[in-house]
Amino acid sequence: MNFYILTLFPDMVMQGLNTSIIGRASEKGLLHIEAINIRDYTKDKHKKVDDYPYGGGAGMLMQAQPVYDAWKSVVDRVGYQPRCVYLTPQGSVFHQTQAKSLAQEKDLILLCGHYEGIDERVLEEIVTDYVSIGDYVLTGGELPAMVLVDAISRMVPGVLTNDESGCTESLEGNLLEYPQYSRPEEWNGKKVPAILLSGDHAKVDAWRRQQSILRTAERRPDLLEKAQLTEKERIQIQKNLQEN
């Protein structure tokens, strides 16, 4: 899959994406991640890419022309208009289902804003999706773009090894992951739950399922409403909530 990230800070984005699993997948040729410097497309003789907003107000806006020309350079190269995601706190909040769906694309353009935003007219021309990564404000779209590339890439076939793909399920059933333990059997006076050492796979599975449900009830009750639970499991949650 090919990612084209339109940004004023190409180094920031590339530095964050050349390591670990995403870096390995890029080396293998499963991913192509490219940052395009919007400043390279300005026609201003001082390489300026921003200006004051009409009507006044705080801060500067990124101007339409360099953003459009940076986008057009990608479109001309790939020969069609791929989906173009603008990272903005005004977008719909990114979710695992969207990561999965965007992983089906061959090419994806990610547009990172800075300053107070981007001239609305170019957004109307090029943006297909407005995406936020949560209800808080960041200084720019670069970190959100990196979040999207990571979340989407791990859904691209081959990016995760078999060992790694186990953790794909965590949010899909709307249940959080159960707690996990590795060696030693006792650390800092704390023992690994005995059932995990029992070798009884059915019991281990049942325990993990129960832990997932309890953890979700405690930490993300909003998710639990969407989870597929048996009647028995729902009753168990009620019992636990009453006990605590």
Which residues of the shown chain bind ligand 6GU in the complex (CB under 6 A)? 87-89, 132-134, 136-138, 140-141, 144
DSSP state of 79: T
Q: In whole angstroms, how close is the CB of 88 to ligand 6GU at the nearest point?
A: 5
Q: In whole angstroms, how close is the CB of 126 to ligand 6GU at the nearest point?
A: 16
Instruction: Report d(CA 100, CA 115) in Å as an integer.
Output: 30
Instruction: Report d(CA 57, CA 156) in Å as an integer.
Output: 43
Q: In whole angstroms, how close is the CB of 92 to ligand 6GU at the nearest point?
A: 10
Question: Quick one: 66 or 117, whose CB is closer to ligand 6GU?
Answer: 117
DSSP state of 170: T
90 in Cβ contact with 130 (< 8 Å): yes
Give bridge partners of residue 61 from the DSSP assignment: 51
Question: Quick one: 10 or 89, whose CB is closer to ligand 6GU?
Answer: 89
Q: In whole angstroms, how close is the CB of 136 to ligand 6GU at the nearest point?
A: 5
114-140 burial string, b = 16+ CB within 10 Å, else e? bbebbbeebbeebbebebbbeeeeeeb
Q: In whole angstroms, how close is the CB of 9 to ligand 6GU at the nearest point?
A: 12
DSSP state of 53: P
Question: Quick one: 82 or 144, whose CB is closer to ligand 6GU?
Answer: 144
Q: In whole angstroms, how close is the CB of 184 to ligand 6GU at the nearest point?
A: 40
Question: Quick one: 71 or 86, whose CB is closer to ligand 6GU?
Answer: 86
- Of the candidates 140, 90, 75, which has an alpha carbon nearest to the alpha carbon of residue 114? 140
Question: Quick one: 135 or 225, whose CB is closer to ligand 6GU?
Answer: 135
Question: Quick one: 134 or 166, whose CB is closer to ligand 6GU?
Answer: 134
Bridge-based pairing of strands 83-93 and 61-62 is unpaired
180 in Cβ contact with 192 (< 8 Å): no
Tokens 């636990």 locate to 240
